[in-house]
């Protein structure tokens, strides 16, 4: 487990709020804590974090990385758009 895990890409630093490795499903779980509304940028950043973890840290026998965005308020328009884009993604509100 890590808090504020730094990931560097192209000289820029990005920070994932919480990182866990779940031994039962054998996958990384990345969590972004958002105190405000769900914004499209949060989805784009989480997608980047998940892809970077897939490239850099995931082993062959691991399952795909899970990315969760926990936010205080939801934005229905963004949720609808993201549901269309990611049909297999679990969204909780």
CATH fold group of domain 2-85: Trna Endonuclease; Chain: A, domain 1 (3.40.1350)
* Domain residue ranges of the chain, discontinuous segments joined by +: 2-85
Residue 84's contacts (CB-CB under 8 Å, 6 or more residues apart) are none
pLDDT in tens, 14-65: 899 999 999 999 999 999 998 887 777 888 888 899 999 999 999 999 999 9
The confidence band for 87, taking pLDDT boundaries of 50, 70 and 90, is very low
> How remote is the C-alpha of 63 from its chain's centroid?
15
Please check whether residue 38 is in contact with residue 75, taking contact to mean a CB–CB distance below 8 angstroms. Answer: yes
User: Rounded to two decimals, what is the model's pTM?
Assistant: 0.77
């Amino acid at each position: 487990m890590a808090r504020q895990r730094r990931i560097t890409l192209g000289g820029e630093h990005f920070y994932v709020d919480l990182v866990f490795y779940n031994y039962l499903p054998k996958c990384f779980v990345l969590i972004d804590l958002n105190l405000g509304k769900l914004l499209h940028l949060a989805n784009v950043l989480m997608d980047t974090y998940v892809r970077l973890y897939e490239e850099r840290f995931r082993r062959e026998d691991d399952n795909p990385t899970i990315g969760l965005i926990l936010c205080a308020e939801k934005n229905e328009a963004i949720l609808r758009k993201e549901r269309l884009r990611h049909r297999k993604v679990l969204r909780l509100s």
